[in-house]
Chain A
């Protein structure tokens, strides 16, 4: 038992060291970084999209990303270093800070406001009919369908 534990103690760090030496699968992170950055050659495409051969911007940027990922750098650190070099225009999407945040918030804000307004309109449009007339009964779907067909054809 002791021998086994000792063997494990020896083998475990060794295997961890070997695992640490093995090349990482960086394809997912590489794709993510290339999607988040814009080629600076003027094509305005993401690095993952710019298809110009030997592009003066995309080719060295991709090489740098690959190299740094293999060294163990994270996607965030790599992206930050490109932002420091080129400014925010190197990013393919607005950041989640300051004025840029409004880009993300506004569509959902409009959606929420719109939902409230439409909900209010629906309720408001329903109320007078309830007050003015007896509540309508549910219509048999079959009758409804035939009525629709009749209206369409007429």
Chain B
């Protein structure tokens, strides 16, 4: 089966290279049949890579320990659920998942657009296949998950080796969110290849009108959704599994996921300006190029070993290949952008400095600077060692101090943006627009100070949250009332119809509201409390308004791990709230790692978070840690609202989600050129 898997990958590579050459050849000769052949080859490549992935899952589930990846990431007693997740438990398997997701996305895009963009699609196919071929080459020749274990005999000859059991899956990955987090995150990382492929195709064919950007925006939105959901699932995993009481540690790999998300956010805003005004064409091209490169950079960070991270695959030899590939892509992309500058001129000037267009430009600036700050902090230790030979650490204090002010400014713009009209806003209309948001946010600020909140960042953040919320509510309220007058619908129906009729705009506001809720949750960090204590049965621990009484301790033995569970009765004001059961697991396989399983009592106001660290040295007590983390609930709830808002935005319309206006489809390159160069 392992040879079959390798063969499928090799066949996939041959098909991808054929599709790449055929697509370019078909475009050069204007032979539609050759392009069709490229499409079929690309789809076939997706299918055989799917079969290769399925064969690896089969090897994992059946426990074929002759295969190195299976022996390194599973063991006999691992539940089937986690045996499947072991596909991405080591870097060669995770690269196979990357290749599979790349092939899947490429196949879907080529199939969906088989009757559209006939001039651009050959180049789209070529870019998608180039990207696929690069990762396939790495997966086949550098990190092949189907490689078999061999041992070296005394005479120097090699002999196949099958261990009695595998080393098991990293215990930290044995959590439900970790089973879905990597595939979702990969969809987010890899999906940015689609806008990149369309951008390159548009540059090559000089079809730089609206059609490619409309399609690109939708794919970007879906990708952005997956990346955001992946980030949040990762944060949830860190919160519940790592046991340090937080959910975001500014780890280099976390940062590498955040960066393309930030640039994607910038693009989703600036693309609106291009669609409405024909402006920012060069800027959008640069953002698309950055999104793709940062997606590849994310996997470079994970696999190169240049930075230390809890997520990184330390033994990966792929760093240099990624650097060369990223360098070539960046050079080719920039060359095309510079060469096509005459076609990328703005169609219209700005009408006024005081306009929504200007607000969007500043929003883009803040998002890009925020991305730069994260990149700078992530790579600064490497830079410091390279330039000065000094090893330093850039951790959470740096990222918090730099990104909190930038984030607050971004939050302000989230609220201010909708108050500006398109084209031009008069000072009088601004005064009116700012009135209620201004009044209510000042009232909120005074109330916070009145309640004793003194932390400057927290007061600013929550005041801005009030401001943005009021602007969003006002937007919905005014437009709904207008619709009620016109249609006679009741408020609720008018609200729903308004949102569905203009999903992009009102879905966007829902996303903004989700962001506000996440900021509310982040503000709670300033009030986190924690207590560590060594406790015997019957002892009590006090933290905030809570009392935790240790009432029991039990051990259990499963085929996969041995666990010790402490039982705490959590009281507040003398009332029993919950019996909390933080647990410590010692896994039997491999390096016999241990993990903590925290126990939570979560309310919208705060989380009571308990961790059983382990038995104390006296042999009869237990080391425990308790945290009270205010407002964390709103981070998860806000994330759910953000996902809901994005889903509203990408809901298919009557023409179909990925349809494009007929007029834009029918434009020939010459017509586009004449339009743009007038």
Asked whether A103 lies within 8 Å of B394 as measured between CB atoms, the reply is yes
Q: Choose among B393, B478, B617 the residue that contacts A92 (Cβ–Cβ < 8 A).
A: B393
Q: Given A139-B423, A152-B505, are A107 and B373 neighbors across the interface (CB < 8 Å)?
A: yes
Chain A residues with CB below 8 A from B394, complex form = 93-94, 103
Cα distance, A90 to B243, chains bound together (Å): 22
Asked whether A88 lies within 8 Å of B391 as measured between CB atoms, the reply is yes
Among B244, B348, B380, B392, max chain A CB count under 10 A is at: B392
Q: Choose among A35, A103, A111, A129 the residue that contacts B350 (Cβ–Cβ < 8 A).
A: A129
Chain B residues with CB below 8 A from A53, complex form = 613-614, 623
Q: Choose among B502, B614, B617 the residue that contacts A149 (Cβ–Cβ < 8 A).
A: B502
Does B413 touch A at the CB level, under 8 Å?
no
Asked whether B397 lies within 8 Å of A36 as measured between CB atoms, the reply is yes
Q: Choose among A87, A107, A118, A153 the residue that contacts B501 (Cβ–Cβ < 8 A).
A: A153
Does B676 touch A at the CB level, under 8 Å?
no
Asked whether B479 lies within 8 Å of A92 as measured between CB atoms, the reply is no
Does A5 touch B at the CB level, under 8 Å?
no
Does A115 touch B at the CB level, under 8 Å?
yes
Determine how close the nearest CB of chain A comes to the CB of B235; give it in whole angstroms.
15
Contact with B along A6-37 (1 / 0, CB 8 A): 00000000000000000000000000000110
Q: For this complex, into which size category does the number of interface residues on chain A fall?
A: 35 or more
Interface residues of B in 405-450 (CB under 8 A from A): 406, 421-426, 428-429, 433
Does B163 touch A at the CB level, under 8 Å?
no
Asked whether A103 lies within 8 Å of B365 as measured between CB atoms, the reply is no
Find the B residue at minimum CB distance from A108.
Answer: B402
Determine how close the nearest CB of chain A comes to the CB of B121; give it in whole angstroms.
26
Does B276 touch A at the CB level, under 8 Å?
yes
Among A49, A88, A108, max chain B CB count under 10 A is at: A49
Q: Choose among A49, A89, A90 the residue that contacts B246 (Cβ–Cβ < 8 A).
A: A49
Chain A residues with CB below 8 A from B398, complex form = 92-94, 103-104
Asked whether B425 lies within 8 Å of A138 as measured between CB atoms, the reply is yes
Find the B residue at minimum CB distance from A131.
Answer: B349
Asked whether B482 lies within 8 Å of A142 as measured between CB atoms, the reply is yes
Chain A residues with CB below 8 A from B361, complex form = 118, 121-122
Does A51 touch B at the CB level, under 8 Å?
yes
Q: Choose among A51, A90, A103, A151 the residue that contacts B596 (Cβ–Cβ < 8 A).
A: A51
Does B611 touch A at the CB level, under 8 Å?
yes
Chain A residues with CB below 8 A from B369, complex form = 107, 110-111, 114
Chain A residues with CB below 8 A from B429, complex form = 138, 141
Does B588 touch A at the CB level, under 8 Å?
no
Cα distance, A137 to B421, chains bound together (Å): 12
Asked whether B384 lies within 8 Å of A99 as measured between CB atoms, the reply is yes
Q: Choose among B346, B380, B426 the residue that contacts A94 (Cβ–Cβ < 8 A).
A: B380
Find the B residue at minimum CB distance from A50.
Answer: B244
Find the A residue at minimum CB distance from B433.
Answer: A141
Determine how close the nearest CB of chain A comes to the CB of B381; give it in whole angstroms.
9
Cα distance, A89 to B387, chains bound together (Å): 15
Asked whether A126 lies within 8 Å of B501 as measured between CB atoms, the reply is no
Asked whether A44 lies within 8 Å of B504 as measured between CB atoms, the reply is no
Asked whether A138 lies within 8 Å of B392 as measured between CB atoms, the reply is no
Does A65 touch B at the CB level, under 8 Å?
no
Interface residues of A in 16-74 (CB under 8 A from B): 35-36, 38, 43-46, 48-51, 53-54
Q: Given A118-B361, A122-B353, A136-B352, are A144 and B308 neighbors across the interface (CB < 8 Å)?
A: no
Q: Choose among A46, A106, A115 the residue that contacts B396 (Cβ–Cβ < 8 A).
A: A46
Q: Given A36-B397, A49-B244, A53-B614, are A118 and B391 neighbors across the interface (CB < 8 Å)?
A: no
Does B58 touch A at the CB level, under 8 Å?
no
Determine how close the nearest CB of chain A comes to the CB of B541; give it in whole angstroms.
14
Asked whether A123 lies within 8 Å of B406 as measured between CB atoms, the reply is no
Chain A residues with CB below 8 A from B625, complex form = 51
Q: Choose among A44, A110, A137, A153 the residue that contacts B372 (Cβ–Cβ < 8 A).
A: A110
Cα distance, A144 to B423, chains bound together (Å): 10
Q: Choose among B349, B366, B501 the residue that contacts A128 (Cβ–Cβ < 8 A).
A: B349
Find the B residue at minimum CB distance from A102.
Answer: B380
Does A80 touch B at the CB level, under 8 Å?
no
Q: Choose among B365, B479, B505, B596 the residue that contacts A118 (Cβ–Cβ < 8 A).
A: B365
Q: Given A49-B246, A88-B391, A107-B373, are A138 and B350 neighbors across the interface (CB < 8 Å)?
A: no
Find the A residue at minimum CB distance from B361.
Answer: A118
Cα distance, A92 to B251, chains bound together (Å): 12
Find the A residue at minimum CB distance from B307.
Answer: A44
Asked whether A141 lies within 8 Å of B421 as measured between CB atoms, the reply is yes
Does A84 touch B at the CB level, under 8 Å?
no
Among A44, A129, A132, A137, max chain B CB count under 10 A is at: A44
Chain A residues with CB below 8 A from B390, complex form = 87-88, 99
Q: Given A53-B614, A138-B426, A141-B429, are A122 and B373 neighbors across the interface (CB < 8 Å)?
A: no
Asked whether A38 lies within 8 Å of B395 as measured between CB atoms, the reply is yes
Does B553 touch A at the CB level, under 8 Å?
no
Asked whether B402 lies within 8 Å of A104 as measured between CB atoms, the reply is yes
Chain B residues with CB below 8 A from A108, complex form = 402
Asked whether B358 lies within 8 Å of A122 as measured between CB atoms, the reply is yes
Find the A residue at minimum CB distance from B384.
Answer: A99
Q: Choose among A89, A115, A144 the residue that contacts B392 (Cβ–Cβ < 8 A).
A: A89
Q: Choose among A36, A49, A152 the residue that contacts B249 (Cβ–Cβ < 8 A).
A: A49
Does B658 touch A at the CB level, under 8 Å?
no
Asked whether A126 lies within 8 Å of B397 as measured between CB atoms, the reply is no
Q: Given A51-B596, A107-B373, A122-B361, are A136 and B423 neighbors across the interface (CB < 8 Å)?
A: yes
Q: Choose among A36, A106, A142 the residue that contacts B376 (Cβ–Cβ < 8 A).
A: A106
Cα distance, A99 to B398, chains bound together (Å): 15
Cα distance, A41 to B478, chains bound together (Å): 58
Find the A residue at minimum CB distance from B426.
Answer: A138
Chain A residues with CB below 8 A from B402, complex form = 104, 107-108
Cα distance, A57 to B351, chains bound together (Å): 61
Contact with A along B346-374 (1 / 0, CB 8 A): 10111111000010011001101100110
Q: List 13 A-B contacts (CB under 8 A).
A: A51-B613, A54-B614, A87-B390, A92-B395, A93-B401, A104-B401, A107-B402, A110-B373, A126-B352, A139-B423, A144-B422, A145-B482, A153-B501
A122-B358, A126-B350 given. 10 additional CB < 8 A pairs? A49-B249, A89-B391, A92-B397, A99-B390, A107-B373, A122-B350, A126-B349, A126-B353, A139-B423, A145-B479
Residues of A within 8 A of B (CB): 35-36, 38, 43-46, 48-51, 53-54, 87-94, 99-100, 103-104, 106-108, 110-111, 114-115, 118, 121-123, 125-129, 132, 136-139, 141-142, 144-145, 148-149, 151-153
